[in-house]
Structure 1
Amino acid sequence: MVSPLPGAVGISGLRVYDWPTADGLCGGSPHAHLTCAEAYVVVAGEGSVQTLTCDGFAETPLTPGTVAWFTPGTVHRLVNGDGALHIVVVMQNGGLPEAGDAVFTFPPETLNDPAAYGRAATLDPAARADTARRRRDLALEGFTALRARLDDGDPAALHDFYRSAVSLKAHLFPEWEKRWQTGAFAEALRTGAQLSRLGAGDIGHLTEAAVHRLEPPPERAFGMCGRLDTYVP
Structure 2
Amino acid sequence: MSSVPLFPGSVGISDLRVYEWETDDGHHGGTPHLHTVSNEGYVVVGGSGEVHTLSSAGYARDVLSAGSVLWFSPGTVHRLINSGDLHILTVMQNSGLPEAGDAVMTFPLSVVSDPERYRAAATLPDGSEAERAAAARRRRDLAIEGYSELLSALSAGDRRPLEDFYTAAAALVQPRVEEWSRLWSETVLADVEATRSQLAALGDGDASHLGDAAVVRAVPRPEPRAFGMCGRLGIWDASQR
CA distance in 1, matches of 2:108, 2:198: 48
Would you tell me which structure has more strand in proportion to its own residues? 2
Work out whether residues 220 and 237 of structure 2, in 8 Å CA contact, stay in contact via their aligned partners in 1.
no
CA distance in 1, matches of 2:40, 2:210: 30
Q: Does 1:144 align with 2:145?
A: no
**CA-to-aligned-CA distance 1:85-130 (integer Å, 9 cap, x gap):** 0000000000000000000000011111111111100112221100
> 2:227 is matched with which residue?
222
- Counterpart amino acid of residue 218 in structure 2: L
Q: Report the CA distance between 1:226 and its aligned residue.
A: 0.2
> 1:182 is matched with which residue?
186
1:128 match: secondary structure: helix
- Counterpart amino acid of residue 94 in structure 2: N
TM-score, normalization by structure 2: 0.94
CA distance in 2, matches of 1:122, 1:149: 28
Work out whether residues 38 and 89 of structure 1, in 8 Å CA contact, stay in contact via their aligned partners in 2.
yes
TM-score, normalization by structure 1: 0.97
**CA-to-aligned-CA distance 1:3-22 (integer Å, 9 cap, x gap):** 11111110100000000000
2:107 match: secondary structure: coil
CA RMSD of aligned residues (A): 0.9
Work out whether residues 124 and 131 of structure 1, in 8 Å CA contact, stay in contact via their aligned partners in 2.
yes
Same amino acid, percent of matched pairs: 53
Moved over 2 A (4+): 230-233
Contiguous gaps of at least 5 residues in structure 1:
none
The aligned runs of 1:30-41 (5 Å cut-off) are 30-41=32-43
> 1:15 is matched with which residue?
17
* Greater RCO (Cα-Cα under 8 Å, separation 6 or more): 1
Q: Does 1:135 align with 2:136?
A: no
The number of equivalent residue pairs is 232
- Counterpart amino acid of residue 118 in structure 2: Y
Work out whether residues 47 and 63 of structure 1, in 8 Å CA contact, stay in contact via their aligned partners in 2.
yes
